[in-house]
A and B are shown apart, each in its own frame.
Chain A
């Protein structure tokens, strides 16, 4: 933690970066995001188990972007999100400094994004263990049971779009869900509209989700919607052999193709 504070202070003092995004102590014993411009205030920075939010979500916000060069406290999921944002031309590599956090909580030194890529290449990627267990359980159910499960869960959704706000990859300024000519998704929160909204979200994140689970954590009703995108992340890996957020150059799974993609259902 001291290393992290020291490094952040150095970066701000030398004007290498204009802003540091990290975690600080919030209310009720929770950690929250903090935006530091003043090198004297870097003492606020913390990193521990409570720091779960994917901070990359702020990188693409207009208010944050105009600061210029930004350093971000980055556990694995944030590193991967940064790479996805760079690969989708949402972030300039020269405008970001990754303050990597290793699995043991120590500060990693990343002089460039290439080094981040190399670091990620060495780590086994996939969904977090507890979530994958639930996904496997769901996959073992019959089609009928799964439908019932999702209908019960999604019925509660009141379309606050917190899942969208929490996701670093949901950065479109005009989302299809707000489009009303034609109205793709019916606005009120009824079972059909809810199903369509979550289908849309899941499909638009296929091959782009880094399995951080922030959509599920953001949900005020605790609907496990992160399972949908996580399952698709696994599917994209099995079907197309790609994982999001491993390279700053790669195309996302659905914006590219291989002539010999294998499927067994097209007649």
Chain B
């Protein structure tokens, strides 16, 4: 049987992780190709709804990453984001949606190697957990209902 190739979406901030991922490339470090990187101005811009949307559109896992605390280009965007993620994590856990499919990390512009590690580890982790069928079932039920309603 063929190996399951998970789809991952990475929401990264423009100033640290995106530049870090760039460094990974220019340093010629190879990493898993399962990840689609989406650039944001700041982690403070990464709304929790975007994560939901990623899952609804077929992602098996999501990586969210930005500047280390105290390194935010806008001073406090990542601090605000951290509180939001902590709350989101708590809410998902209470609703019975395992937050292990969402990987949060801090990757600076100098940490090209760390970015490659994060991606490789995340892909391995999601591969082990398998496809996000529970969520896909929810999506499917939505599509069926919409078709039924015309």
Contact = CB atoms under 8 A, between A and B. Distances in A.
A261 B79 CA distance: 8
Which residue of A149, A240, A253, A257 has the most chain B CB atoms within 10 A of its CB atom?
A257
B138 A191 contact: yes
A78 B79 CA distance: 31
A154 B139 CA distance: 15
A149 B89 CA distance: 18
B83 A240 contact: yes
A46 B139 CA distance: 48
A143 B96 contact: yes
Contacts of B93: 143
Contacts of A139: 94
Given A259-B69, A267-B106, A192 B83 contact: no
Interface size class of B (residues with CB under 8 A): 35 or more
Interface of A, secondary structure class, is helix
Interface of A: 138-139, 141, 143-151, 176, 184, 186, 188, 190-193, 195-196, 198-200, 202-203, 206-207, 228, 231-232, 235-236, 239-240, 253-255, 257-259, 261, 263, 265-267
Contacts of B89: 263, 265
A199 B48 contact: yes
A176 B49 contact: yes
B54 interface: no
Contacts of B79: 257-259, 261
A195 B76 contact: no
B145 interface: yes
B33 interface: no
Contact of B105 (A150, A190, A267): A267
